[in-house]
Structure 1
Amino acid sequence: MFECVLAILLVGGGAWGYAGAPVLPLEDAIDLAVTANLRVQTAALEVNEVADDVEALKTRRYPRLEMAAGIADNLTRQRYTFDRGVWVQSSPIGPIPPEDIQITAKEGVSKAFSLSATQPITQLYTLALEIGEGGVDREMAATKVRLAQQDVGYLAKVQYFEIDRILGDIQAVDEAIVFLSSLSELVGNYVAQQVALEYEVLDVRARLAQRELERQRLVDEMATAKERLNALMDRDIETPFNIQSLPAPHPLTFDVDTSLGLAFAQRPDLAASELSVEKAEYSYEVKQSEYIPDVALNIEYLKLYDVKLIPDAEAYISLEMRWEFFDWGRKRDELSSRANKIVEAEKKSQEVRQRIAIEVRDSLRHIRTAQASVGVARQLQSAYREKVRVMTNRYREQAAVLSAVLEAEKQLFHANSDYNRAILSVWRALAEYERSVGEV
C-alpha cells in the first residue's frame, strides 16, 4: 500500500479544492473587479459630476433672466417742500411756484416689480475657454476611471495568483502528509521488529504534526485570500468559489519598441499628464482674458405701485461695460504663475514618459527571468522526486538511514513549492507587463 500511494503522489501530486463551489476563471474575476469594484464606481461618478459641471457652465452663455418684487411699509410720513420761485425767480406771471408748496406722503404700503434680461457679450470668449477647460477636466476624470480599472484588474490578478500559490503549497503539504503518514507506519513496524529506534518514529510523527499544522495555517490563509478577492469584485466576502489552477505559460516574447508604443498610446497616467498640460494652457488663457472689458446688453422693465409723484413704470435697454483698467500688477503676476504651471506640467509629463519606458523594459526582463526559473524549478523537482523514491527503497532494504529519507522528503517539499511559485512568477511578470503597457 505504501508503494502504491507513494507512486501516485510522486507522479502527479493530486488535485485539491473546495468541493461543490463554483469555479471562477481568472478572466471572470478580472471582469467582475473592473466593473463592480467600488473604487471604479466612485471614479465613474466623478466623470458624471464633471460632465454636469460643464453642462451647467454652458448655460451661462445665454441671457440671464431675473425678476424682482418687493413690498415696503412706510413707517414714517415723508414730506417734500418746494420753496417759492425755486424753479423760476421771475416771469411774466411771477415766480414759479408763486408760493411754498409742501407735499406729504401718507404712511402705507408701496409695491415694486422689475423684470430684466442680461446678455453677456465679451464674456462669451472667457466662457468658451472655461468650457474647453471643463472638457479637459472630463477627459482627466475618464483617465482616472481607466487608471482605477487598471489598478483593480492588476490587484485581482495578484490576488488570484496568491490563491493559486496557497493552493500549490497545500498540495505540497498534502503530499508530504500522505508520505509521512505512510513512512510513520513503516518506521513503526521497524520499531516493533526492533530494527529501528523509538526516537526515529517520534521524529517522523513530529514532522507529520508540523505538516498538519502548516496545512491548517494555509487553509486559514486561503480563506483570507478569497475574502480579499471577493471584496475586490464587490460581492459578499463569504461567497464560495474555486479557482482554475494556472498552467505554465508558453514561452513569451515581446518586442521592446512595440511594447513602448502600446504603453505610450494606452497608459492612462501618461494621458492624464498630457491633459494636465492642456488644462494649464486653458487656465493661462482664461486668466489672460481678464484684460478684456466686460460688456453686456441689458433690458429692464420696472413698475412701481402706489406712487403718484414720479412715473410709475419705465423700460430701457442699455449697454453696460465694466473694466478694471489698473490692478497694481495683479494680473501680470497671476499670468506669470500660470505660465510656470504650464512648464511644470510639461516636465511632469516628460517624467511620466521616462518612468513608463523604464517600467516596460523592467517587466520584459522579469518575464525572461521568470520563464527561465520554471525550467530550473522543474529539474529540481524531478531530481528530488527521484531522490525520495531511491532513498525510500534503500531504507526499506536497510541500506539507508531514516534521516536521509527525511532530508530527501524535505527537499522535495520545498521543490514542489518552488515549482509552483516559479509558474506563478511568470504569470505575475505577465501581469506586470500588461499593466506597464496600459492593459487591464
Structure 2
Amino acid sequence: MSPRRAALLAAALLAAGLPGAPRAAAPEPPLLGLDEAVAAALARNHLLAGAALEVEKQEDRADALRTRRLPALRLDLLASRLLEPLDFTFPAGTFGTFPGVGPFPPLESRVRTEPQLTTVALVTASQPLTQQYRIGLGLRALELGRDLAREQLRGERQRIRAEVRATYYRLSATQAAVAALSDLVRALEELDQQTGRYLAEEVVLRGDALEVKARLARERWRLSSAESGLATQRERLDQLLGRDLGARFRVEDPSALRSPAAELGLEEARARARARRPELRRAALQRAQAETGLRLSRADWIPDVTLSAHYARLVDFHFLPDHVADVGLLLSWEPFDWGRRGKEASAAGRAEAQAEAALAEAESQVGLEVGARWRALRDATGLLEATRLSVAAARESLATTMNRYREDAKVLRDVLEAEARLSGARHDEVDAIAGRWAAAADLERALGDDD
C-alpha cells in the first residue's frame, strides 16, 4: 500500500471513531452522583420549605381546637357611674305580712342611690358536655387537613425528586452525546486536513473534499447545539439543587445509571403506584373529610348542654347582696329551623358521594398512566437495543470497507459513505439513550417513588 493511501486509511479510521493516537486529557470537573443530587435538592429546595410550614400550621390549628374540650374560665369586670340617682319605692307590705311582725315593710319606704362609681366583677367557669362530640369531629376534620398537608409535602418531595432524576438523566444523555460529537468533530478535522493536502496533490476528487468539509460543518453545528443544551440542563439542575448557576460538575455516564422502575412488571408497578401516589392518599383523605363533614352536619341536632358556675362581686351596691354565686346546667337548642339542618346534611352526603367517586377516578387514572409509562419505557428500551445493533452493523460494514480499501477495491467515497452510516447510527443511539431515560423518569414519576 502506498504511503498516501495508508495516510488516508488512518484518517478514515479516525473519522470512524476507531482507537487512534492518545490525546492529552483535560482535568475533569468533579462528579455529581444522582443520589447526591437528589439529597441536595430535598435539603435546599425552597418550595419544600413552604410545604413543611403548611403542615406545622395545620398542627397548630388542631392544638388550638383541643383546648375547647377543657373548662373555660372567663372574667368580666364592669365599672360604671350613674348619670342620675335611682329611687326605689317599696309600699308597706310589699314583701308580705308575717305573723307577730305584721306587714313588711311596715311603712312605705324609699331607697335612693346617689350617682357614684360602682363595680361588678363576674367570674364564669363553663365545661362543655354534649359539645364534646362536635368538638371531636371538628378536631378530626383538622387532623385530616393536617394529613392532607403532609401528603402535599410528600407529593412535592416526590415531584422534586422526579424532576431532579429526569433532569439528571437528560443531562447524562446530552453529556454522552457531546463527548461522542467532540470525538467525531476532531476526527473529521484531521480527515479534512489530510484530504486538503491530497486535494492539492490531486489524489482525491474536489467533490469528495467538499463533502468532508460539509460534514465537518454539520457536525460542528450539532456539537455547538448539544453544548448549549448541556449548559442549559446544568443550570436547570443547579436551580433544582438550590445553588448558584454555573457550577462546574459532570454527571454519571448513562451506562452507569440504574432505574429501579425499569425492573418492575406492569401489575407490580401499578400496585406500587396505588400505595405511594400522594394524590390517591389525598383523595382518600378528602373522602374521610367529607364523611366527617356529614357527621358534623348531623351533630347540629344535638342540644348544647354546658355545666357552668358563676360568681359575682358587687361593689358599692347598697340594696343588693355583695356576693352572688350559682352553679347549674345551660341548655341551648334550636327546635325548629325550617329544614335548614336537613338540607345541610343532604349537601354533606352528596359531598361524600362526590369524594368517593373522585377516589375511584383517581385510582383509575393512576392505573392508566402507569400502564402508558411502563409500555413507553419498554418500547424505548427496545428501540435502544435496535439502535445498538445498527451501530454494531455499521461498524462492521466500515471495517469490511476498510479491508477492501486496503485491496484497492474501493475509493474514498465508499469509506465516507460507510462512515456516514456509522455516524448516523450513533446519532440514533444517542437519541434512543435520551428517550429511554426520559421514559424511565416518566415511569418513576408515575410510581410516586420515595426511595
Are 1:428 and 2:435 counterparts?
no
Letter in 2 for 1:295: V
Single out whichever of 34-43 and 262-271 deviates more from structure 2: 34-43
Are 1:105 and 2:114 counterparts?
yes
Change (3 A) 1:153 1:330: same
1:295-374 counterparts in 2 under 5 A?
295-374=305-384
Change (3 A) 1:295 1:160: same
Letter in 1 for 2:436: V
Contact 1:249 1:427 in 2 (8 A): no
Match of 2:232 in 1: 224
Match of 1:237 in 2: 245
**Paired-residue identity, %:** 27
Change (3 A) 1:70 1:406: farther
1:164-313 counterparts in 2 under 5 A?
164-196=172-204, 201-202=209-210, 204-247=212-255, 254-313=264-323
- 1:137 pairs with 118, 121, 145, which one? 145
Are 1:68 and 2:62 counterparts?
no
Contact 1:168 1:417 in 2 (8 A): no
SS in 2 for 1:212: helix
Contact 2:177 2:226 in 1 (8 A): yes
Contact 1:167 1:222 in 2 (8 A): yes
Give, in angstroms, the shift of residue 19 of structure 1. 3.8
The alignment covers a number of residue pairs equal to: 437
> d(CA) in 2 for partners of 1:104 and 1:368?
96
Give, in angstroms, the shift of residue 377 of structure 1. 0.5
The one-character-per-residue Cα deviations of 1:226-247 (angstroms, maximum 9, x if unpaired) are: 1111221222233322101111
The one-character-per-residue Cα deviations of 1:73-124 (angstroms, maximum 9, x if unpaired) are: 44x2223141654838999978956356361413x32223222211000000
Give, in angstroms, the shift of residue 197 of structure 1. 5.7
The runs of 5 or more residues in structure 1 that have no matched partner are: none
Give, in angstroms, the shift of residue 326 of structure 1. 0.9
Change (3 A) 1:324 1:3: farther
The one-character-per-residue Cα deviations of 1:129-187 (angstroms, maximum 9, x if unpaired) are: 12222222222222222211222111111101111222122123212311221221122
Change (3 A) 1:365 1:86: same
Give, in angstroms, the shift of residue 270 of structure 1. 1.5
SS in 1 for 2:435: helix
- 1:82 pairs with 89, 99, 117, which one? 89
Give, in angstroms, the shift of residue 348 of structure 1. 1.1
Match of 2:4 in 1: none
Change (3 A) 1:238 1:195: closer
Are 1:57 and 2:75 counterparts?
no
Change (3 A) 1:393 1:159: same
Match of 1:119 in 2: 127
Give, in angstroms, the shift of residue 329 of structure 1. 1.0
> d(CA) in 2 for partners of 1:416 and 1:15?
22
Contact 2:191 2:212 in 1 (8 A): yes
Are 1:413 and 2:420 counterparts?
no
Contact 2:17 2:184 in 1 (8 A): no
Single out whichever of 243-252 and 342-351 deviates more from structure 2: 243-252
Give, in angstroms, the shift of residue 365 of structure 1. 1.6
> d(CA) in 1 for partners of 2:257 and 2:60?
46
Change (3 A) 1:321 1:103: same
Contact 1:143 1:272 in 2 (8 A): yes
> d(CA) in 1 for partners of 2:228 and 2:133?
64
Change (3 A) 1:83 1:366: closer
> d(CA) in 2 for partners of 1:430 and 1:48?
34
Contact 1:173 1:413 in 2 (8 A): no
Give, in angstroms, the shift of residue 274 of structure 1. 1.5
Give, in angstroms, the shift of residue 339 of structure 1. 0.5
Letter in 2 for 1:269: E
Contact 1:15 1:171 in 2 (8 A): no
> d(CA) in 1 for partners of 2:282 and 2:395?
53
Give, in angstroms, the shift of residue 401 of structure 1. 5.9
Letter in 1 for 2:94: W
Match of 2:46 in 1: 38
> d(CA) in 1 for partners of 2:48 and 2:24?
33
Contact 2:380 2:439 in 1 (8 A): yes
Contact 2:138 2:296 in 1 (8 A): yes
> d(CA) in 1 for partners of 2:13 and 2:305?
92
Question: Aligned-pair RMSD on alpha carbons?
Answer: 3.4
Match of 2:386 in 1: 376
The one-character-per-residue Cα deviations of 1:372-407 (angstroms, maximum 9, x if unpaired) are: 1122111222333455566678889694465x6655
Change (3 A) 1:5 1:282: farther
Letter in 1 for 2:342: R
Give, in angstroms, the shift of residue 420 of structure 1. 2.3
Contact 1:65 1:116 in 2 (8 A): yes
> d(CA) in 1 for partners of 2:440 and 2:432?
13
Letter in 2 for 1:226: R
Give the TM-score of the pair, scaled to structure 1. Answer: 0.87
The runs of 5 or more residues in structure 2 that have no matched partner are: 1-6
